[in-house]
């Protein structure tokens, strides 16, 4: 029997009730050791493991197994897989060119098999890659080979990813995906701009790395970056799109608050457009995003416990929850 979104939505509504919430994070912050954390996670339904990383990895596998079991069409998750494809391409490219081990750094699931990526790089033939990555992959290879500038090479790949995600979202006719990935791309651009304005940068890097998205003036932003950090901040304070003014004010207070705000903005979009949606794939998207934010939060707490960081310092970096 074929699956329907009506079935998947009913299933995911029950499943998302088991996502960790703010009160769970507070309980974890009070724990004194990683073994205490592992016990807590096990009680919350996480699979067994000898470390937080093992448990999170197994939990992620369980998430994808569940999503595959209820999603009428897994093609809808292609945009999210693409983010792993880009990460894997960057990782394998640097590993092959600089002779470094990278196997433990690869992410899954992905659309493109890692051995296919490796073969393309080793043979310098990129036509077997998907069209959206083929030309960007070749450009990234050439940039890294001739300049040894990993940032420039990564910028070419990230731009290709962002513009592809926006294109796919528009073709999907999903209002959520359009809003989500335009916000994703906009804040990726602003992060690049802020960092570039505080360091020596080139026009080549900016034109290569900054991508197009709705309500983003690329040429004006580049001009302000080249004029210096203060000029860029003054300009960004006039940009009303994506609530950029609020984000920049937080950046001026502390850069970490800007990063947190950008992430929370994406989660807020998911909550508003997926958490209470009653049709289509949006509830599945929301559940996936909620799981990803939970994974990052647990990893952050585990790292803090290992380094004996104060609960307040960890709490300050935690993002919001989906539930």
Residue 160 in domain: yes
The model's confidence at residue 258, banded by pLDDT at 50, 70 and 90, is very high
Taking only the tens place, the pLDDT of each residue in 40-77 is 999 999 999 999 999 999 999 999 999 999 999 999 99
SS3 readout for the chain: CCCCHHHHHHHHHHHHHHCCCHHHHHHHHCCCCHHHHHHHHHHCCCCCCCCHHHHHHHHHHHHHHHHHHHCCCHHHHHHHHHHHHHHHHHHHHHHHHHCCCCHHHCCCCCCCCHHHHHHHHHHCCCCCCCHHHHHHHHHHHHHHHHHCCHHHHHHHHHHHHHHHHHHHHHHHCCHHHHHHHHHHHHHHHHHHHHHHHCCCCCHHHHHHHCCCCCCCCHHHHHHHHHHCHHHHHHHHCCCCHHHHHHHHHHHHHCHHHHHHHHHHHHHHHHHHHHHCCCCCCHHHHHHHHHHHHHHHHHHHHHHHHHCCCCHHHHHHHCCCCCC
CATH number, position 101: 1.20.1690.10
Residue 235 in domain: no
Residue 184 has pLDDT above 90, yes or no: yes
Residue 3 has pLDDT above 90, yes or no: no
Residue 93 has pLDDT above 90, yes or no: yes
Residue 284 has pLDDT above 80, yes or no: yes
Residue 139 in domain: yes
Number of domains in the chain: 1
Residue 108 in domain: yes
With beta carbons less than 8 A apart as the criterion, state whether 248 and 258 touch: yes
Write down the pLDDT at residue 2.
63
Residue 59 in domain: no
Write down the pLDDT at residue 148.
94
Mean pLDDT over each residue of the chain, to the nearest integer? 95
Residue 101 in domain: yes
* Mean pLDDT, rounded, for 81-104: 96
Residue 107 in domain: yes
Taking only the tens place, the pLDDT of each residue in 124-179 is 999 999 999 999 999 999 999 999 999 999 999 999 999 999 999 999 989 999 99
Q: How far is CA 305 from the centre of its chain?
A: 24
Residue 1 has pLDDT above 70, yes or no: no
Q: Which domain holds residue 150?
A: 74-173
Taking only the tens place, the pLDDT of each residue in 203-254 is 999 999 999 999 999 999 999 999 999 999 999 999 999 999 999 999 999 9
With beta carbons less than 8 A apart as the criterion, state whether 8 and 284 touch: yes
Residue 123 in domain: yes
Q: How far apart are CA 20 and CA 291, in angstroms?
A: 9
Question: What separation in angstroms does the CA of 55 have from each of 47, 244, 250, 291, 323?
Answer: 6, 37, 34, 13, 21
């Amino acid at each position: 029997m074929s699956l329907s979104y009506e079935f998947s939505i009913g299933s995911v509504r029950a499943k998302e009730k088991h996502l960790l919430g703010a009160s769970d994070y507070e309980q974890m912050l009070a724990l004194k050791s990683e073994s205490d954390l592992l016990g807590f996670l096990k009680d919350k339904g996480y699979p067994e493991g000898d470390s937080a990383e093992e448990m999170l990895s197994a939990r992620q596998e369980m998430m994808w197994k569940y999503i595959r079991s209820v999603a009428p069409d897994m093609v809808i998750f292609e945009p999210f897989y693409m983010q792993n494809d880009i990460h894997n391409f960057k990782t394998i490219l640097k590993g092959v060119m600089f002779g470094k081990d990278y196997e433990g750094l690869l992410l899954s699931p992905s659309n493109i098999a890692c051995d296919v990526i490796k073969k393309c790089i080793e043979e310098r033939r990129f036509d077997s890659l998907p069209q959206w990555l083929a030309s960007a992959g070749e450009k990234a290879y050439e940039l890294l080979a001739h300049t040894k500038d990993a940032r420039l090479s990564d910028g070419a790949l990230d731009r290709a990813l962002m513009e592809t995600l926006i294109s796919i979202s528009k073709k999907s006719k999903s209002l959520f995906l359009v809003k989500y990935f335009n916000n994703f791309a906009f804040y990726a651009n602003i992060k690049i701009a802020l960092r570039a304005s505080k360091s020596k940068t080139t026009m080549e890097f900016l034109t290569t790395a900054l991508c197009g998205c709705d309500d983003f003036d690329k040429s004006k932003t580049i001009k302000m970056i080249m004029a210096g950090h203060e000029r860029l901040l003054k300009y960004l304070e006039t940009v009303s799109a994506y609530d950029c003014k609020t984000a920049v004010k937080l950046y001026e207070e502390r850069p970490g608050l800007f990063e947190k705000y950008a992430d929370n903005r994406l989660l807020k979009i998911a909550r508003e457009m997926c958490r209470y949606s009653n049709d289509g794939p949006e509830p599945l998207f929301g559940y996936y995003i909620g799981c990803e934010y939970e994974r990052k939060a647990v990893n952050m707490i585990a790292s803090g416990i290992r380094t004996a960081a104060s609960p307040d310092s960890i709490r300050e970096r935690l993002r919001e929850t989906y539930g």
